[in-house]
Chains A and B, each alone.
Chain A
Amino acid sequence: MQERNSMEIMRSVLFALVLREMLTRFGARRMGAFWMVFEPILHVVIVMFIFTTIRGREVPGMDFPLYLATGMIPFFMMRNIALRLMDAISANQALFAYQQIKPLDTLIARTIVEFSLYACVYVLVVGALGLWAGYDISMHDPLAWFAALATGVVFSAGLGLIFCVWARAFPNAKTFIRVLFLPVYLISGVIFPIWKLPEAYMPWLLWNPYLHVIDNLRSSIFVAYPETYGISFSYPAKAALVVLCLGLAMYRLRRHDLVAL
């Protein structure tokens, strides 16, 4: 076989890993492909049903189902990227016998898989809301939306990288981190608007980059989205950069321990 350079090797490794990961998820249970997409949809629909029909919640100037979908699906994606990256190396341990595969490849592959999966879910749910429920699903600032989403993905991937290296040294931390995401879910303004939160807590809540990301996503979709003082594009971007650099530094330091069984 011909010699390949590092980029070519990484490309084919990533391609192989993404395919493998997807196939594994498809094949894990009967109708795997269907459940893979349907499960997150079901989750979103149930929460939507609880909040709109049972509790009769409304957000002025916005369609509540659309409001929920535009926050929940990106949040689930970011949460899943962080949590699945945490397990990426231990789940693929045996693969490091193939010298072309480096631990970082498994992390990147999982990020790609999660991102693609939730992109499909997002298109399906929002598409259905637009087509059948007749909501206006147009985006008022698509570029800002992509910027916000990219920030969120990079932040989550960096976080996942840190978790991964950390959980390698302290496996018990995994349970703790999983539980931690529930309160984060609640204080990120995913299911209720942040302007309903008490003013006094805002300086604290603003430390959470997910709050910024979710709010930025929505403010670039809805025209009449109320601006909240303190929400910015630059804070989550800085946080993402710091987290990613920290994660890569930790990875660099511990790369030999990550490979060994």
Chain B
Amino acid sequence: MIELRNLTKSYLTLKGRKYVFRNLTFTVPPGHNIALIGRNGAGKSTLMRLLCGLDAPDSGRIVTDKRISWPVGLAGGFQGSLTGRQNAKFVCRVQGAEGTEMQRRIEFVEQFAEIGPAFDEQVKTYSTGMRARVAFGLSLAFDFDYYLIDEAMSVGDAHFRDKAAKAFKDKVGKANVILVTHGMGQVRKMCDMVALLDNGQVTCFDNVEAGIQAYLQLGAASSDRGMAPAPTERRQEQETVIQEETQ
């Protein structure tokens, strides 16, 4: 279970302090593949960074007994002058996989990435897609309870995207994903629950279609009024909520 307790996060901008979340309390329902959607600037990536420990909240806590991955497909941690294999080994060592354990995981990454001999070339010679392949394989080489995917699936060619989606399908029952995306096709394909982030509040939808509808309504509502929609209450009953939005 992942529990957010009274989470407040703000950033200092040129125009003063801007709050992304104020006293956000929310429990991530266990055993679901969750799509985190919301408009640009709603705080999706901030929430993601908080979940994987890349950033610390101003106040409040995130309580969990689950193993949460680093952002899947994160290639920023790669050292350009080292080879793909050396970078992969580094991550293995950090995660505590040594000896045959490491060998097994490196082999997995090499096979998953499918970049052939380039695996032993310096990472700085890689294309963005190649980097993503190695990074993706590296995330999948380790077992987590939750994989955090932040738009990472949008890189790579169609073949690779299918492969990645399939890899997560194989982990069903053992692991869940939290997916941040603007692609509704991906949401439908991979998730069975939608968490809509708006105005610093999270609303959960058990019905994926309902969640997507609510998200699309948000966009329509704000462009009609030419401003951000009024703060919405935390809602459980998605049907009524959609009616409220449309009225």
Taking Cβ atoms with an 8 Å cutoff, the residues of A that contact B are 1-2, 4, 8-9, 12-13, 15-16, 19-20, 23-24, 27-28, 94-101, 256, 259-261
Q: How far is the CA of A24 from the CA of B76 in the complex (A)?
A: 16
Contacts known (A20-B82, A94-B76); A100 close to B97, Cβ less than 8 A: no
B96 interface residue (CB < 8 Å to A): yes
Contacts known (A27-B122, A97-B52); A1 close to B97, Cβ less than 8 A: yes
Contact A16 B81 (CB under 8 A): no
Among B74, B94, B98, find the residue whose CB has the most chain A CB atoms closer than 10 A. Answer: B94
Q: How far is the CA of A101 from the CA of B53 in the complex (A)?
A: 11
How far does the Cβ of B25 sit from chain A's closest Cβ, in whole Å? 21
Counting from the closest, the 5 A-B pairs by CB-CB distance are: A16-B93, A256-B56, A94-B76, A97-B70, A94-B77
Contacts known (A259-B56, A260-B54); A13 close to B94, Cβ less than 8 A: yes
B143 interface residue (CB < 8 Å to A): yes
How far does the Cβ of A111 sit from chain B's closest Cβ, in whole Å? 19
Q: How far is the CA of A24 from the CA of B90 in the complex (A)?
A: 12
How far does the Cβ of A169 sit from chain B's closest Cβ, in whole Å? 12
How far does the Cβ of B102 sit from chain A's closest Cβ, in whole Å? 11
Contacts known (A19-B93, A97-B74, A98-B91); A260 close to B55, Cβ less than 8 A: yes
Could you jot down 15 A-B contacts, CB within 8 Å?
A1-B95, A12-B94, A13-B93, A15-B93, A20-B90, A23-B79, A27-B122, A28-B81, A94-B76, A94-B78, A97-B74, A99-B70, A100-B94, A100-B95, A261-B54
Contact of A12 among B70, B98, B142 (CB under 8 A): B98
How far does the Cβ of A230 sit from chain B's closest Cβ, in whole Å? 46
B101 interface residue (CB < 8 Å to A): yes
| Additional 13 contacts, C-beta under 8 A, given A1-B96, A256-B56, A260-B55 | A1-B97, A12-B98, A16-B94, A19-B90, A19-B93, A27-B81, A95-B77, A97-B71, A100-B94, A100-B96, A256-B55, A259-B53, A260-B56
Q: What are the residues of chain B within 8 A of A101 when measuring CB–CB?
A: 94
Q: What are the residues of chain A within 8 A of B71 when measuring CB–CB?
A: 97
> Which residue on B lies nearest to A105, using beta carbons?
B94
Contact B82 A27 (CB under 8 A): yes
Q: How far is the CA of A20 from the CA of B77 in the complex (A)?
A: 12
How far does the Cβ of A68 sit from chain B's closest Cβ, in whole Å? 33
Q: Which of B22-78 contact A (CB under 8 A)?
A: 49, 52-56, 70-71, 74, 76-78
Contact B96 A23 (CB under 8 A): no
Q: How far is the CA of A15 from the CA of B96 in the complex (A)?
A: 11
> Which residue on A lies nearest to B56, using beta carbons?
A256
B154 interface residue (CB < 8 Å to A): no
B6 interface residue (CB < 8 Å to A): no
Q: What are the residues of chain B within 8 A of A256 when measuring CB–CB?
A: 55-56
Q: What are the residues of chain A within 8 A of B98 when measuring CB–CB?
A: 12
B86 interface residue (CB < 8 Å to A): yes
Contact of B54 among A12, A28, A96 (CB under 8 A): A96
> Which residue on B lies nearest to A93, using beta carbons?
B76
Contact A98 B70 (CB under 8 A): yes
Q: What are the residues of chain A within 8 A of B90 when measuring CB–CB?
A: 16, 19-20
How far does the Cβ of A165 sit from chain B's closest Cβ, in whole Å? 15
> Which residue on B lies nearest to A15, using beta carbons?
B93
Q: Which of B76-110 contact A (CB under 8 A)?
A: 76-79, 81-82, 86, 90-91, 93-98, 101
Q: How far is the CA of A261 from the CA of B52 in the complex (A)?
A: 14
Q: How far is the CA of A94 from the CA of B82 in the complex (A)?
A: 15
How far does the Cβ of B64 sit from chain A's closest Cβ, in whole Å? 12
Q: What are the residues of chain B within 8 A of A95 when measuring CB–CB?
A: 77
Q: How far is the CA of A4 from the CA of B90 in the complex (A)?
A: 17
Contacts known (A1-B143, A23-B82, A24-B79); A259 close to B54, Cβ less than 8 A: yes
Q: What are the residues of chain A within 8 A of B54 when measuring CB–CB?
A: 96-97, 259-261
Q: What are the residues of chain A within 8 A of B55 when measuring CB–CB?
A: 256, 259-261
